[in-house]
């Protein structure tokens, strides 16, 4: 057992997008900071096993799709040939390049990175181990403040853990073990649909099973409808209101048994064999085996660490950010909270979370993005709103690129026309949503956006024209008879 002790002002546990952002922000303020993470490479799940590798593969999938779509323009490239080893190397090189960038930024700022598993001995001391739950063979670390940024893990369902390498989670799917002829995706959320999009483009026959009555539960139905129409063409089957009850390893495949969800009508699909099964039923906070019971930190029944609007836990020495501190479980939310937590530690007056909107993006094809209040949330909360929609069929740019299967949607206050929510489905929706988030954050009205000059021809014009409809009921490229 090591007896060395590291002393620091701040320790950040977890080197993901929230953790390293917190460490760097603290170092920039002159706070002596140590960043602890067990991974070989910094960057957390997002960089190593989530956001970055999945978007790298989704970009490859988009290129493949475009080679097929180009036939309508009179361009024929032939069937794409996929070198899986080269694609895997490209993805891994992207990860390595980004991880090396994080290392260099840490070095430049004087942030010490300690590769170890951390466990709280008490509110001001960490035990550092080379193995999870092991002896503190790397010593102890004492601190004045700690920021917990341990992120989340793929949710597991014990019934699906049959010990078969053919049953994988999102981490396994990103490793690209092969291109299965048939793939079942359990879960119609963003992870399942994104990975399903990748494998369908690579040549797999993809089937998705979702226990609720629609894909992307919680997302705006107008937006999901556009995506679902596309996925019906790209995927072999989409089973809604359906459960997976049992998996059987046949050694050559996985036999899957289905049943209809509670109160659902119709018959369940018959038992079917798949080459691989991807379990994508969400994520769970990574708050176990951290020794939190040795502190005053409080944890909810779902495993989230309780924090206030300053990211403080019930323990005066410990703050928490990102996935482990509650939903939405998004990397950019973790980054935002990282800045707040460091400001609180530094004693910045008024430091607190006060964002009006946190954007969310599903990187399928087409992409879905939204920020602020949704139409469903407004109805549930009894908030009176007006809704305006601009279909991309009226966009010259969308038509020019052969992708007018989009929609831009505004939720505004009836009297003031202040923008309360924005939803977009279409190519590059994830890039376009930033304007909506800014509009909500700045308290802009629909007229503010509608009178802002947007370059022509661009997809961003759909945002301007949608705002015009919200403000006046009319816009240049959609005719509506006078009321």
Catalytic residues: 456
SS3 178: coil
Q: Which residues are CB-contacts of 135 (< 8 A; sequence separation ≥ 6)?
A: 1, 129
d(CA 446, CA 96) in angstroms, rounded, equals: 43
Four-CA torsion 457, 460, 465, 467, nearest 10 degrees: -160
DSSP strand pairing (254-260 vs 117-122): unpaired
CA angle (46, 48, 51) in 5-degree steps: 35
Q: 53-80 as b/e, with b when 16 or more CB fall inside 10 Å?
A: bbbbbbebbbebbbeeeeeeeeeeeeee
**Looking at residue 312, what DSSP letter applies?**
B
DSSP strand pairing (167-168 vs 276-279): parallel
d(CA 199, CA 468) in angstroms, rounded, equals: 39
d(CA 236, CA 207) in angstroms, rounded, equals: 6
d(CA 226, CA 38) in angstroms, rounded, equals: 41
Structure tokens at 129: 């181990």
SS3 185: strand
d(CA 466, CA 449) in angstroms, rounded, equals: 9
| Positive or negative torsion for Cα 45, 216, 224, 466 | negative
CA distances 254 to 188, 208, 277, Å, are 19, 15, 7
């Amino acid at each position: 057992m090591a007896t060395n002790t590291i002393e620091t002002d701040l320790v950040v546990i977890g080197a993901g997008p929230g953790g390293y952002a917190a460490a760097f922000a603290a170092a920039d303020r002159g706070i002596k900071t140590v960043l602890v993470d067990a991974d070989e490479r910094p960057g957390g799940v997002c960089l190593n096993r989530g956001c970055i590798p999945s978007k790298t593969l989704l970009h490859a999938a988009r290129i493949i799709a475009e080679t097929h779509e180009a036939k309508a323009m009179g361009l024929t490239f032939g069937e794409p040939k996929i070198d899986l080893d080269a694609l895997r190397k490209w993805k891994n090189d992207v990860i390595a390049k980004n991880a090396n960038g994080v290392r260099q930024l840490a070095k430049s700022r004087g942030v010490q990175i300690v590769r170890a598993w951390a466990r709280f001995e008490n509110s001001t001391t960490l035990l550092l181990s080379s193995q999870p739950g092991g002896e503190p063979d790397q010593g102890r670390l004492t601190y004045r403040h700690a920021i917990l940024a341990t992120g989340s893990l793929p949710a597991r369902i014990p019934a699906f853990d049959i010990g078969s390498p053919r049953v994988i989670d999102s981490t396994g799917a990103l490793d690209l073990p092969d291109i299965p002829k048939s793939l079942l995706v359990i879960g119609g959320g963003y992870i399942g649909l994104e990975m399903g999009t990748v494998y369908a483009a690579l040549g797999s026959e993809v089937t998705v099973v979702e226990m609720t009555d629609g894909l992307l539960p919680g997302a705006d139905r107008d937006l999901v409808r556009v995506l679902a129409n596309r996925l019906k063409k790209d995927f072999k089957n989409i089973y809604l209101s359906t459960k997976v009850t049992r998996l059987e390893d046949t050694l050559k495949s996985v036999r899957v048994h289905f049943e209809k969800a509670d109160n659902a009508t119709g018959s369940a699909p018959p038992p079917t064999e798949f080459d691989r099964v991807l379990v994508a039923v969400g994520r769970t906070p990574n708050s176990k085996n951290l020794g939190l019971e040795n502190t005053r930190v409080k944890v909810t029944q779902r495993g989230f660490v309780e924090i206030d609007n300053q990211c403080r836990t019930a323990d005066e020495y410990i703050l928490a950010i990102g996935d482990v501190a509650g939903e939405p479980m998004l990397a950019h939310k973790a980054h935002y909270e990282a800045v707040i937590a460091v400001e609180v530690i530094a004693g910045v007056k008024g430091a607190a979370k006060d964002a009006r909107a946190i954007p969310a993006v599903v990187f399928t094809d087409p992409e879905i993005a939204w920020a602020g209040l949704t139409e469903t949330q407004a109805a549930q909360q009894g908030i009176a709103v007006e809704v305006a929609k601009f279909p991309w069929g009226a966009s010259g740019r969308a038509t020019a690129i052969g992708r007018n299967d989009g929609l831009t949607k505004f939720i505004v206050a009836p009297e003031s026309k202040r923008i309360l929510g924005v939803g977009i489905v279409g190519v590059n929706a994830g890039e376009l949503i930033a304007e909506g988030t800014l509009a909500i954050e700045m308290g802009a009205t629909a007229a503010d956006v509608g009178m802002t000059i947007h370059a022509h021809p661009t997809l961003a014009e759909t945002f301007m024209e949608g705002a015009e409809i919200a403000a006046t009921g009319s816009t240049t490229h959609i005719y509506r008879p006078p009321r």
